[in-house]
Chain A
């Protein structure tokens, strides 16, 4: 396609061509300017499985319960950092050059999420300081991040008007409230499976819909 035909000025365009351009340009813009959610769901689904799975394996059979081992916590830190870096790259690439209300909303949401996450750790330290047992801290450490992630997902779904994301948020809230009943050891296994399967299922559904 030469430059003149690409510019389109002075060329005849029939209605079929116009319809094809609308379809093709819209699809190309959505691919370029929006984060591919299925990829993010896949990344975080695997990250959850590895992190919570490693913590569960490290506390399995502990008598008395002492909490995840340093090796499991190191694995968790590395995997979460890698997943976060991948998320930053994907979100940054899609948001490059996009300004205005959405970019501001994204920044506010990230700041709120970061503050809340720091708050979780400060509260855990306060519980430890107040004499909470290792078992209580174990249940809190596994379930509380899900409570936060669930609230964030449900709130973000309202901005994006996305019922799938709302469903994920509610699922995370249900897990956060319910998985603690499995005890400080099995809470890790329940959350590892229930969260990662939900995220990987959403990734698979998203990929299938994008190919349809």
Chain B
């Protein structure tokens, strides 16, 4: 009951966007009711009516890569989505330039996808999944410590966790690596 109410509150309807090509879904690893998380994704996806829609992007933080292949429910949700509307699956990793090496991130992500492929979690796809890395170049200022932000700033008491808040001050770099995982 609670899940359905919350889902109705936060689920955007995408049926009006006739030019929508790509839907990007982020914060998969958030502490949410596991079933609701995928229900929400399904519900949002099912409202898409754009004739040019072709791409579903799973946005991952760099520390979420390693547990990707073990998230069976995610791939099951993706399979159900693909039955509704076929798409090209893209894994987009947001990595900070200062703490990651491009080759390492790519290698970890490719390993995770290969593991998922070997175990048959990606069998439903018609085409190979695509890998992208967005490098977040650290700006010249330090991220503001969250505890110093005024409380009135956050509605409903939401205080983002520190790693996420750090990236919120970063800007998407033009340099993004794109690769395609061989299956």
Note whether A and B form a binding pair.
Answer: no
